[in-house]
Structures are given as C-alpha cells and as structure tokens.
Structure 1
Amino acid sequence: MLAGRIDGFLAYLRGERGYSPSTVEHYAHGLARLAEYAEELGLARWSELEGDQVQSLLAREHRQRGYSPSTLRALASAWRSFFRWLAREGEVTTNPALGLRTPKLRRKLPQVLDADEMAQLVELPGDDAEAVRDRALLELLYSSGLRVSELCGVRWRDFDSDGAMLRVTGKGSKTRLVPVGSKARAALVALREQDRCGDDDPLVRGARGGPLTPNGVRARLKRRAQEQGVWKRVYPHLMRHSCASHLLESSGDLRSVQELLGHADIGTTQIYTHLDFQHLAKVYDSAHPRAKRKAG
C-alpha cells in the first residue's frame, strides 16, 4: 500500500509535471527511505505518519548517513511534495513534512572563469572537423548560458540563424528563447555547413551522429581546457556561471540574466550579485586611497 502510492506519485512527476529521469530518481530514493521508516514504525497508511516522526527520520539521516544540509533539504522537499499530492488524492488531511526543520544551508559562490581565461578557452585553433564542432560547443555554452541538458536536447530546427536566437527546453519542460552571440552564431553556421545537418539533427552530435551526451560534453570541455592551457576545472555549469557573472558585471540587469538562465526564482540568480560585489571589494581594497593597507 505504501510503496504503491509512491509509484503513483512518481508516475505523476514523469507524466504531468515532466520531471527529468534523474530528478524522478532522486525523489524515488528519498521516498523509499520514508517508506522503509514508516514500515519500521508498523504503519499501514500514509495518513498515520506524524510530523515528529518525519522529523526524527530526517535527524537520523543526518546522524547515521552524514547527509549534507543540501541533501537533507532536498529530502524534506521531496517528502512535502509527496504529501501535497496525497492530499489532492484525498488520502491525507495534513502534511506531516510541512514543519520540518533542516540545517541552514551555506551557499557556496560558484566558480567562474574571468574574461581572459574564457577567451583562451573558446578560441580554438584549427579548421578540422573536430575543432569546428568543439568551437561551436564552447561558444554556445558561453554565449547563452545553457544547462548541459538543454544543450544536449536542442536540434537545428531550434536555431534561428537570422534572428540569432535558440529555443531550448529547460527544467519542468519549459521552453524559452535565448540569444546567440555573434561568435557563437558564426561557429554554428560553420558547423552546419561542415556537417550538412538537417532540421531534425542534433545541434551537437556525438561520434555516431546522435545527440552528444552530458558526459560527452564534460569530457570535451576537460580535454579542450587542458589543451588550451586553462588549468581550472572546466565543466558545463562553469560556463553557465561565467556567462551569467560576466553579463551581470557588465549590465547590472538582474531580470534579464534571470530570463536568459531560465530561473523560476530571481533569488537563484541573485547569487551572481555576490560575485560582482566580491570583485568590487577587491578593486576597492586595492585602489581606494582610504582602503589601502599600510605597509608592515
């Protein structure tokens, strides 16, 4: 009975909410832990689970498994969503996960490449087929701030070369249009001419002609960074962070950066303001006459 309702909820996430397989898998893992705990307590129905019992499970996951604050918050979120769905299904009248207390999350500032490092990375030499493909990949990631899943999902029909726009499908199957910079547009035009792609072909292809996988993108970025002499760890989300940070630093337009990245909550975008202020603080400390440290 308990596991059956979890299966129904996961089907709802896949079908009606359009959640990605990886997200559904995370929900399934967290709900399996909740079901195991309910069975330990001898409960037969979800309506019998109480808030203090759910809080005890969360504390146990932290104590015994060493889960981080971010993982505990994700568990609590999955449990709350599950009980909201059960309430809509008429199976519970209260949500025992609503009042869960989770450890305060210390938000880490994302790493970025500066403008010089980014130029060093994306300006690949050579006109061989692989260089043309990887140049388009790098330029597009930096130009439009795409998630790796969005990049792997786009096809040539989604690219408007004349308007320099790209239609991508983000989280929750939401589509949005993102601008494509002139360098990225030129790299994509060269790629299409080289590969003679049709509208239904993947924008970025793997070795066998199918869509390049996220792991394939990561491997290419790592290799190209080493070849170009960029010794930071380079990965797809670093390109996204760098795009957002550089745009915000130049424009200060938080709403536009939010739209570009496809963030539902502007609070997610605001982390890039901390990067900007961090840069400002360094400039201030080194340049302002009243901020300079006196020599020892």
Structure 2
Amino acid sequence: MTPREAVEAFLRHFEAERVPSAHTLAAYRRDLDKLIAYMDAEGLSSFDALTPDRLRTLIARLHRPLPKKGNKQAKGLEPNSLQRLLSAFRTLFRYLTREGQLAHDPALGVRGPKVRRKLPVVLDADEAKELVETNLGGSLAPRDTAMMELFYSSGLRLSELCGLRWGDLDLEDGQVRVLGKGNKTRILPVGRFAVAALKALAALGEAGPEHPVFKGRGGAPIGARAVQLRLARLSSGQAKRVHPHMLRHSFASHMLESSGDLRSVQELLGHADIATTQIYTHLDFQHLARVYDAAHPRAKRKG
C-alpha cells in the first residue's frame, strides 16, 4: 500500500470512528497532504522511512517564512497550525501502527513550536443585549431576532445553529436538543426572550418537526456563510467586529462570571475536556484585574 492509499484508508476509518465535522475532516486531509508532498519530494516511498529528525525538518520548513517574488516573504504556518498538523500525523501513525503497517512511530519526541494561547474576545452584557435587539427591519427581521437570541441564549456552535430543526425545540419547556461534535447530543435551556422570538418566527411559516428553524434561500437550512454575513450587518454599528463564535464565547464568559460553576459551563458548551472551558476563567480574572488596577490605591500604574 502506497502512503497515499494508506492515508485514504486512514481518513475513511477516522470518519467512521470519530464522526468528525466536515471542517475537521478537510483539515486532516490538508495536513496529511503536506506530509505526502514532503515524502514525495524526499523520495520516501514508505512511512517506515520517516524519522523524528525528518519530521522536525518538515515542521521547520513549514514554520519558516516562504520566499516570494519581489523580495517579499509569505508567512509560514503559525504555531497552532503546526500543532494541529502534528496531531494529525500522530493520529495517522497510531492507526498505521495498530494496523501493522508501521513498525515505529516517527512522531515520538517531536514537538511543535510553543503556542501562545490567545484569550477570546467577548462582548460585555450591554454589547450582547444591543446586538440581539438590533432590528434591521424587512422580512428577515423575525428570523434574525430569533437566530441571535437563541445563539446567545444557549451558546450554540455555528454548525449546531444552522442544522436546527423545529423538532429539536421544546418551546413550552424552554429546551433545545443539539447534535454536537462526535455526534454527541446535549439538551440546553433556552431563555425566555429566545423562546418568545422563536414562537413569533414559528407563527410566520412552516414549522413542522423536520423543517429547518432558520431558512436560507429556497427554504433550505441557512448556511454558515449566510449567518456570518448577516451577523456582520447586524453588528455594523458596534465597536467590535462580531463573528458567530464570539456569541458563544460571550455566553460562556457571562455564564461563568455569574455562576462560577465551571463544570456546568463545560456541559452547556459540550466540551469534552474541561481544560478547554478553563480559558473563560482567565477572561473573568482579566476583568477582576482591571477593576483592581483601577480601584486599589497601591495598584494603580503609572501612565
């Protein structure tokens, strides 16, 4: 089996076992294509020919700025992209080792550049309120209002929002059922403003169990790009450039700030690892630190 055939077999296995999103599967394919291209360039016909030093060479090449015409340089891959690339390599090598197609794991001991974790930008409570209450008028206004209210009310992922059907909602009990990453289902509360907006939207048209809650062109489920563009219009008057995931970040930050219950916020967000949720504790501390620096007479800093 050639390296390319082995990668294709791995991707089929990965899709069946992990049930990743289309975005994740495409990212794995792009990352593994880089590995295959490197092996082709180096004349390596087998994964057994890979060594930790060869992988370090590949990582260094991808990290280094690339030469371009006109004495300009294109940026190399960022550390977080390289860490994701290494993760794809390790997953592939573990699979090949289990299948008896690889005698050793060439990624053992290979580390990518250190990632400086950026804290997500969030809206404060007043900014979030202003956004969800923005009304551009026209026939799309009821859909926009319900979409923004639910997005912020329940902390949905963009893919979860786009794939929602009316049968997933229980507006009498204020609940929504979403299918998240790895085909994991979770039941989330829906706030009263979102419930009211969704009821108003349901009264305007088809709201059968299998009908999409938020429709795009031709009555099909709204696409991710359409939500991004609509949100850009709705937030055009705000100081911050708002993107869909910012509403999820804001939901998490506000929930944690008010409750202090990290485990519950983890469940609401559908994070498999609580370490992913813990980033919002740093956001909360940043707020406290700003208040402290501004208020404490011995903490004020020189301008």
Q: What TM-score, normalized by structure 1, do the two folds share?
A: 0.94
Question: 1:59: how far off?
Answer: 1.1
Q: Tell me the distance in 2 between the aligned counterparts of 1:290 and 1:50.
A: 55
Structure 1 residue 207 and structure 2 residue 208: aligned? no
Is contact 1:124–1:131 with CA below 8 Å preserved after alignment? no
> 1:84 pairs with 94, 98, 103, which one?
94
Q: Who is 1:23 aligned against?
A: 24
Q: Tell me the distance in 1 between the aligned counterparts of 2:190 and 2:102.
A: 48
- Name the SS for the 1:197 alignment partner: coil
Q: Who is 1:254 aligned against?
A: 262
Q: Tell me the distance in 2 between the aligned counterparts of 1:36 and 1:230.
A: 44
Instruction: Go from structure 1 to structure 2 and tell me whether the alpha carbon gap of 1:48 and 1:186 turns closer, same or farther (over 3 Å shift).
Output: same
Q: Tell me the distance in 2 between the aligned counterparts of 1:21 and 1:119.
A: 32
Q: Who is 2:295 aligned against?
A: 287
Q: Tell me the distance in 2 between the aligned counterparts of 1:99 and 1:236.
A: 37
Is contact 1:14–1:21 with CA below 8 Å preserved after alignment? no
Q: Tell me the distance in 2 between the aligned counterparts of 1:127 and 1:197.
A: 22
Question: 1:199: how far off?
Answer: 0.5
Q: Tell me the distance in 1 between the aligned counterparts of 2:32 and 2:136.
A: 51
Q: Who is 2:33 aligned against?
A: 32
Q: Who is 2:253 aligned against?
A: 245
- Name the SS for the 1:110 alignment partner: coil
Question: 1:75: how far off?
Answer: 0.7
CA-to-partner distance for each residue in 1:92-144, whole Å, 9 max, x for gaps?
13211132111110011111111111111111348754111100000011011
Query: Which stretches of structure 1, 4 residues or longer, exceed 6 Å deviation after superposition?
Result: none
Structure 1 residue 222 and structure 2 residue 232: aligned? yes
CA-to-partner distance for each residue in 1:185-214, whole Å, 9 max, x for gaps?
111111111123111011111132111000
- Percent identical residues: 54
Residue segments in structure 2 that go unaligned for 5+ positions in a row: 67-75
Q: Tell me the distance in 2 between the aligned counterparts of 1:245 and 1:118.
A: 12
| Bigger Cα displacement from structure 2, 113-122 vs 30-39 | 30-39
Instruction: Go from structure 1 to structure 2 and tell me whether the alpha carbon gap of 1:24 and 1:167 turns closer, same or farther (over 3 Å shift).
Output: same
After TM superposition, list the pairs within 5 Å mapping 1:1-20 onto structure 2. Answer: 1-20=2-21
Letter in 1 for 2:115: L
- Name the SS for the 1:194 alignment partner: coil
Q: Who is 2:240 aligned against?
A: 232
Residue segments in structure 1 that go unaligned for 5+ positions in a row: none
Instruction: Go from structure 1 to structure 2 and tell me whether the alpha carbon gap of 1:223 and 1:126 turns closer, same or farther (over 3 Å shift).
Output: closer
Letter in 2 for 1:91: Q
Letter in 2 for 1:238: M
Question: 1:292: how far off?
Answer: 3.9
Letter in 2 for 1:9: F
Is contact 2:136–2:234 with CA below 8 Å preserved after alignment? no
| Bigger Cα displacement from structure 2, 240-249 vs 30-39 | 30-39
Q: Tell me the distance in 2 between the aligned counterparts of 1:29 and 1:292.
A: 49
Question: 1:293: how far off?
Answer: 5.2
After TM superposition, list the pairs within 5 Å mapping 1:36-115 onto structure 2. Answer: 36-65=37-66, 66-115=76-125
RMSD: 1.7
